[in-house]
Structure 1
Amino acid sequence: MTDLSAFGPDFPFAYDDWISHPAGLGAIPAGRHGAEVAIIGAGAAGVIAGHELMKLGLRPVLYESAKFGGRLRSEVFEGTEDIIAELGGMRFPVSSRGFWHYVDLTGCDSAPFPNPLTEAAGSTVIDLEGESLFARCLDDLPDLYREVARAYDAALEEGARFSDLQAAMRARDAKAVKAIWDRLVPAWDERTFYDFITSSEAFRALSFRHREVFGQVGFGTGGWDSDFPNSMLEILRVNLCGLDDNQRYIKGGVENVLHRLWRHAADCAHWGRTTLADLNGGATRSRVVRIGRDASGRIAVTDTWGRTDLYDAVLVTCQSHLLTTSIATDEDLFDQKLWMALDRTRYMQAAKTFVMVDRPFWNDIDPATGRPLLSMTLTDRITRGTYFFDNGPDRPGVICLSYSWMTDALKVLPHDAEKRVDLALAALGHIYPGVDIAGHIRGNPICVSWETDENFLGAFKGALPGHYRYNHRMYGHFMQDALPPGQRGIFLAGDGISWTPAWVEGAVQTALNAVWGILHHFGGATDPANPGPGDLYPELGPVALD
């Protein structure tokens, strides 16, 4: 395990240490044991928060509008048991220490993800403007690509004191992290990723072609031009936390982590040894259609079948736009400034197209070139990124024909699965002429466009310049002592509430913030030997602007 983790930089708190400490997360007064807490959404944030609240002696009641797992969605191909397409999260950096705590707890196995230019991919083809380059590592590519890589490293040093800041994060020196990061926030909140690139000394010395290649090929997992309009702070966090490096996938599907956690027996205050599934009667409640404050002061949650239950605490983990589109939410539950932040959250589009094939034929060697028939592929064509998943020589393989964001995702939005496959095969046919991919396809393709799903309305948050203040309001909402009584007791979690959207670690960390907030709301406290996020937030919390 790398010594780098998602320790900050906005709030440098060691979540992995907190959840693994022998003292536990804290204790709730015995008189509050057994109290019900509504959790809206059975994704990573909801299930993890439920697991920890159960251990504290509360009864989490989970509601789910559609599919258990949220955006950790592993779709099984028809006619198989474990050949899957990862429609949401599919690659998980080892620096996501909080997430890996639960992977280890549930006994799920993992393997290196086949990202470009990695040993797991075997080989990579970069196809730009009709020219294809074959490589197994960066040194196999022309000098231009190494110049781009060096320029980005230099830009990070110049604009963000990257080495010093990452060294402080590795050492878990919270004060040193804040001393550097808190000065970067006002400098880069209102400037874009593209501005960071073009204004750096390193890239100004290079050509437009270098910037263009950087946008198409990027760093780590591939091209990042879809993020060029985003706040540079968003990208700095990804780099600093190592989120785009050293990634792994979960064998059999990442959704299994949540299913296993749902059924994982734990020693709990009040309940003894039990599971989330047992406390919920084996199934989640249905879609939530209304949240409001009852005349008694408790929070009323109504499901799609008209059942209303009252709770002293509610945790909302769904995407924020659902609070104004799908769930009739009492406006008085949140301050209007928080409503502004929730409604201004900008979600990015994303599309994936998967097919199952008879075997991992891409490993066959082309006798004319001595190379594999197909390689992990980055291209400016409609497919953008193509990935290959080998389940063994005698088992079906899986190809993610296309993983694209924003404009590239919108290009296929009107089309059905078969048309999307046709478009992808046509694009790949220009890169690999003569290779019969279609002849190996078995069963039906599996596709997703998250922006068309009524339960998501987009894939993940992509903060624009000037959104830091909004993020700060959402992230810090679990600290409720200063709120009026009518706004207390309802909490927010999920990667869209976090500083690291699109990464499951953000869902984990905000879920744990909410656990502390609910613990505090019920009159509980942490052990002095293991202070929680709310205990250290006044000292180490994110810097405030204006």
Structure 2
Amino acid sequence: MTIGSSFNCPADIAQQNHRKKRTANEKWRASFPNPPDLCFDYRTLVEQDNGIAQTTDASHRICVIGAGITGLTTARELHRCGFKNITLIEKSTRVGGRHLTALGNNNTATVGRPPFELGAMRMPFFNKTNEPPKEGRSLMAYYASEFELVHSDFPNPGSAAVQSTGIYLREGCLAGKSDPTMLIWKNEDGKTAPPGDILGPVFTKWKTFSERMTLHIAQHYGSEYWETMWAEIVKKYEAISFRNLVKMPAIDHWLQSDPGNFGGMGMTAQESAIFYSIGIGDGSWGAFYDVCSIYPIRTAMFGFSSHLQLIHGRVHPDGTPMPSPYLDVREISDSRGLRFSKPNYIGLASLAESLLFIKPRETTESLYEHLIKNPNGLLTNSAVTKIKKLKNGKTRVYYDWNSTHPHIAKQEFIDADSVVMTLPSWLIETQILLEGFNQKMLPFETTTAYKTAHWESSCKVYAPLKKSFLNNNKNIPQAIVTDTFIHDAYTYRYNNSNTYDCILLSYTWEDDALKLSSFSNKELVDKCIAELDRILLNSDNIRERISPYIGREQAVVQRWMQDKNSLGCAKLYRPGTYYEAVGLMKYNRDFSFISGLYLCGESFSVDAGWTEPCFRGAVDTVINICNKTKASFNGGFSMRDYPEYKTEYAVLVKETDYKTNGIV
């Protein structure tokens, strides 16, 4: 994952090419970098006083299924709008979903142990270069600012945030020397190319393709012609796999007459094999070689990989939590008295905890305080089993209360006016029966799209790391990239106060994660440590073990495909299925007014593994619920200002249109 790690090109170009100040008529248009569709500034809507809208139907009953980031954001923003009758149902005994911060073994608080981010860990704020991350025009930037979350540059391999990166490919023979060698990459300025005669050309071909495309995207993003240009890019690349994009012939220059065509990277088979292991900056891309090429284009060219941040939490400089609601209580309970994980406000989990426990400025109580007043407000350890559309227009949600204790569990239901589903789609298909929804409410195209979605596996192996490693070791690189089964190893520090630092011994996806599934956690930890030692000892320029620095017995393993509340780490889509994925994002606008069912979260997004689309999907749901209930939108916003997703792009772009309007 080294080439292009912390790929800041979009943020650099955005800094150099400021668009003119937006007019009053353009106040809702997003600025670059930001996701390509919808081109809408969600932060402007959410950060205004009193939030998105003021409800005129406070009694409208809403049931939100899932207390991950999407569900918590949806419930919090509805609470800000003044809706009083909200139910939040969570299957597990913690909030946050795939934001999972482990504080020691088995997710228990352990003094001196650093947080291990077992799920999402690198946050893009979509800020321009030289702009503080919290000033980025994104919802992540807004909530990080709102909750006073402390952050720092994430120590990606190959980035300026690490002292050095070791590259060990093809058993150390990549450099062409007689003895196995680990290539050492120091990139203090963030602009130094990786070393070696082989990595250099691979880096150059990636950089040429990505920067040309990003430059044109940045010039047109947010303009009245942006949707047309993005439509042409999608039409060109949505049926092409990333593997084919890497090998597809490069072009010398972009043509006005063919605005969606930026060619490919033009790599040889050998270069493609190297790129397979090195990737572009958010994980070894070999596991993603057969996904739709639109996914890496979105990831790299729109700011998802720029200036990635490590979230420390709501903490003081020494890492201790700042005063926060319910931090010092011994235990925390839901509306029925069932205990769930108390807030620690450390690491990325602090984001979910803040959404639930910190009071918005406009309300008299936090979302948590509001929910627990209602016996059906916050229900944890409760598994939804069926959603039934009733003839009276309401929707009945059946659930097993206290589901992990069969001897006292109860089958119950609530009737709601609006139901919001935020779950991974494989959970919906295998564990929740949908009944009574006709084709005008829930078309087969929608259910087929989420049932056939591909959820990927991921495996992380974390352990404590002695501080002497980063303090004193000058021989072993801080980060290591390899084509062996461990793939990527990270070492990093939160602060000087924790007794230990972190080592992510192995981070794998897809087949690379599945091949590790037969080993027990202990066996896998031992294998990863042994493999790192083998690589380092085999490198003639290292010849030293890393194992003496690692707290082997305190290691933690997370396998997302085996997590019963997730059944996967992130949703991807194959070549030729992009329009189906976009169709899921259109559902709320097209069908929810009739069905009363709202779909949001990563299952209904096209940006797998990132938090921003979860925020955006949540806010989209709130916008549509407010519209249905005739709420009064704030800031002069109306649905006329809210662009719509398009699932079929048949836009004919005339060359004269581009010339006339200065698009070059």
TM-score (norm 2): 0.75
Match of 1:345 in 2: 453
Quote how far apart the aligned CAs of 1:496 are. Answer: 2.7
For residues 404-450 of structure 1, give each alpha carbon's deviation from its aligned partner in whole angstroms, at most 9, with x where no partner exists: 01111011112221111111112211222231415641643211111
Match of 2:123 in 1: 92
Quote how far apart the aligned CAs of 1:27 are. Answer: 2.4
Amino acid across the alignment from 1:63? I
Q: Which segment is superposed worse, 491-500 or 507-516?
A: 491-500
Query: Do the aligned partners of 1:356 and 1:443 also contact (CA within 8 Å) in 2?
Result: no
Aligned counterpart for 1:152 among listed residues 206, 224, 230: 206
Asked if residue 13 in structure 1 is aligned to residue 40 in structure 2, the reply is yes
For residue 605 of structure 2, give the secondary structure of its aligned residue in structure 1.
coil
Classify 1:157/1:358 alpha carbon distance in 2 versus 1 (closer, same or farther; 3 Å).
Answer: closer
Match of 2:158 in 1: 117
Classify 1:457/1:301 alpha carbon distance in 2 versus 1 (closer, same or farther; 3 Å).
Answer: same
Aligned counterpart for 1:261 among listed residues 334, 348, 355: 355
Match of 2:571 in 1: 461
Match of 1:162 in 2: 214
Query: Do the aligned partners of 1:450 and 1:458 also contact (CA within 8 Å) in 2?
Result: yes
Query: Do the aligned partners of 1:116 and 1:222 also contact (CA within 8 Å) in 2?
Result: no
Aligned counterpart for 2:580 among listed residues 470, 494, 498: 470
Match of 2:469 in 1: 361
Q: Which segment is superposed worse, 218-227 or 114-123?
A: 218-227
Match of 1:35 in 2: 60
Query: Do the aligned partners of 1:113 and 1:247 also contact (CA within 8 Å) in 2?
Result: yes
Classify 1:22/1:484 alpha carbon distance in 2 versus 1 (closer, same or farther; 3 Å).
Answer: closer
* Distance in 1, Cα, partners of 2:67 & 2:593: 29
Classify 1:345/1:35 alpha carbon distance in 2 versus 1 (closer, same or farther; 3 Å).
Answer: same
Match of 1:291 in 2: 387
Query: Do the aligned partners of 1:266 and 1:275 also contact (CA within 8 Å) in 2?
Result: yes
Asked if residue 411 in structure 1 is aligned to residue 500 in structure 2, the reply is no
Quote how far apart the aligned CAs of 1:521 are. Answer: 2.0
Match of 1:188 in 2: 237
Match of 1:50 in 2: 75
Classify 1:205/1:91 alpha carbon distance in 2 versus 1 (closer, same or farther; 3 Å).
Answer: closer
Asked if residue 275 in structure 1 is aligned to residue 366 in structure 2, the reply is yes
For residues 266-322 of structure 1, give each alpha carbon's deviation from its aligned partner in whole angstroms, at most 9, with x where no partner exists: 245xxx411110122185342212211234321111221312111100111011121
Asked if residue 300 in structure 1 is aligned to residue 396 in structure 2, the reply is yes
Query: Do the aligned partners of 2:248 and 2:265 also contact (CA within 8 Å) in 1?
Result: yes
For residue 496 of structure 1, give the secondary structure of its aligned residue in structure 2.
helix
Asked if residue 373 in structure 1 is aligned to residue 476 in structure 2, the reply is yes
* Distance in 2, Cα, partners of 1:470 & 1:543: 7
* Distance in 2, Cα, partners of 1:70 & 1:495: 11
Amino acid across the alignment from 1:354? Y
* Distance in 2, Cα, partners of 1:5 & 1:257: 24
Aligned counterpart for 1:142 among listed residues 196, 200, 222: 196
For residue 354 of structure 1, give the secondary structure of its aligned residue in structure 2.
strand
Match of 2:622 in 1: 515
Classify 1:154/1:139 alpha carbon distance in 2 versus 1 (closer, same or farther; 3 Å).
Answer: closer
Query: Do the aligned partners of 1:498 and 1:509 also contact (CA within 8 Å) in 2?
Result: no
* Distance in 1, Cα, partners of 2:216 & 2:477: 40
Quote how far apart the aligned CAs of 1:384 are. Answer: 0.6
Amino acid across the alignment from 1:199? M
Quote how far apart the aligned CAs of 1:222 are. Answer: 4.4
Match of 1:383 in 2: 486
Larger-Rg structure? 2
Asked if residue 74 in structure 1 is aligned to residue 101 in structure 2, the reply is yes
* Distance in 1, Cα, partners of 2:75 & 2:299: 27
Match of 1:235 in 2: 296
Classify 1:279/1:89 alpha carbon distance in 2 versus 1 (closer, same or farther; 3 Å).
Answer: same
* Distance in 2, Cα, partners of 1:253 & 1:176: 40
Aligned counterpart for 1:62 among listed residues 79, 83, 88: 88
Amino acid across the alignment from 1:144? I
* Distance in 1, Cα, partners of 2:265 & 2:360: 56
Match of 1:529 in 2: 636
Amino acid across the alignment from 1:134? I
Classify 1:541/1:345 alpha carbon distance in 2 versus 1 (closer, same or farther; 3 Å).
Answer: same
For residues 206-259 of structure 1, give each alpha carbon's deviation from its aligned partner in whole angstroms, at most 9, with x where no partner exists: 532221111111222342121110111111111122111210111131111110
TM-score (norm 1): 0.90
* Distance in 1, Cα, partners of 2:62 & 2:230: 36
* Distance in 1, Cα, partners of 2:266 & 2:366: 59
Match of 2:502 in 1: 398
Classify 1:392/1:380 alpha carbon distance in 2 versus 1 (closer, same or farther; 3 Å).
Answer: same
Quote how far apart the aligned CAs of 1:543 are. Answer: 5.0
Aligned counterpart for 1:420 among listed residues 524, 527, 531: 524
Asked if residue 479 in structure 1 is aligned to residue 531 in structure 2, the reply is no
For these two proteins, the number of residue pairs brought into alignment is 525
Match of 2:259 in 1: none
For residue 234 of structure 2, give the secondary structure of its aligned residue in structure 1.
helix
Query: Do the aligned partners of 1:23 and 1:529 also contact (CA within 8 Å) in 2?
Result: no
Match of 2:330 in 1: none
Match of 1:368 in 2: none
Quote how far apart the aligned CAs of 1:140 are. Answer: 5.4
For residue 162 of structure 2, give the secondary structure of its aligned residue in structure 1.
coil
Classify 1:331/1:87 alpha carbon distance in 2 versus 1 (closer, same or farther; 3 Å).
Answer: farther
* Distance in 2, Cα, partners of 1:248 & 1:477: 32
Quote how far apart the aligned CAs of 1:483 are. Answer: 6.5
Structure 1 unaligned segments of length 5 or more: list them: 366-370
* Distance in 2, Cα, partners of 1:154 & 1:436: 37
Q: CA RMSD in A?
A: 2.4
Quote how far apart the aligned CAs of 1:507 are. Answer: 0.5
Amino acid across the alignment from 2:476? L
Asked if residue 319 in structure 1 is aligned to residue 319 in structure 2, the reply is no
For residue 229 of structure 1, give the secondary structure of its aligned residue in structure 2.
coil
Quote how far apart the aligned CAs of 1:167 are. Answer: 2.9
Structure 2 unaligned segments of length 5 or more: list them: 1-7, 15-30, 127-135, 173-181, 252-263, 313-345, 401-409, 538-543, 651-664
Q: Which segment is superposed worse, 393-402 or 68-77?
A: 393-402
